[in-house]
Amino acid sequence: MNYYNANYDSKDGLYLIVTEENKDNFLKSLKPFPPIKTDLKGFFNRKLKIVGKLNGMTIFYIGCTEDLFGKIYYYEPVLILNKNRIFIKYGEHHGRDFNFINGRWK
């Protein structure tokens, strides 16, 4: 069972939306990963916490919003191919390969 909604954005890529009532079940469904924070060598503009793995992708906690209906949690899945190469999905059947070359993601 999925405890999240997958959303694609042509600029930001795939992100997962988890409601407050599904947060604990979502986190339990992930394969455990050491709880570290990283910006992936500057790929993210701040350090994000890794919360686990899902379908081979590393899941990063982005943050949450709160309104009258409760909290909404946001997560970003990133396929880490090696220490200098990652893949971000931008649609159901496409994505982008990023390579860390000369101190920059290209």
**What is the per-residue pLDDT across 41-87, written as a single tens digit (0 to 9) for each?**
999 999 999 999 999 999 999 999 999 989 999 999 999 999 999 99
Residue 43 confidence (pLDDT): 95
pTM over 0.85, yes/no:
yes
16 CB contacts (<8 Å, ≥6 apart)?
Answer: 4, 5, 6, 7, 26, 59, 74, 75, 76, 77
User: Is pLDDT of 9 > 80?
Assistant: yes
The pLDDT, as a whole number, for residue 19 is: 96
Residue 24 has pLDDT above 80, yes or no: yes
Question: With 80 as the cut, is the pLDDT of residue 1 above it?
Answer: no
Q: Where are the beta strands (DSSP E) in the chain?
A: 5-9, 13-19, 37-38, 48-54, 57-67, 70-82, 85-91, 94-101, 104-105
3-state secondary structure of 29: helix
Q: pLDDT value at position 95?
A: 92
Residue 45 is given by DSSP the state S
> Is the predicted pLDDT of residue 11 greater than 90, yes or no?
no
Shortest CA distance to 46 belongs to which of 4, 88, 76?
76
Dist. CA 38–CA 44, nearest whole Å: 8
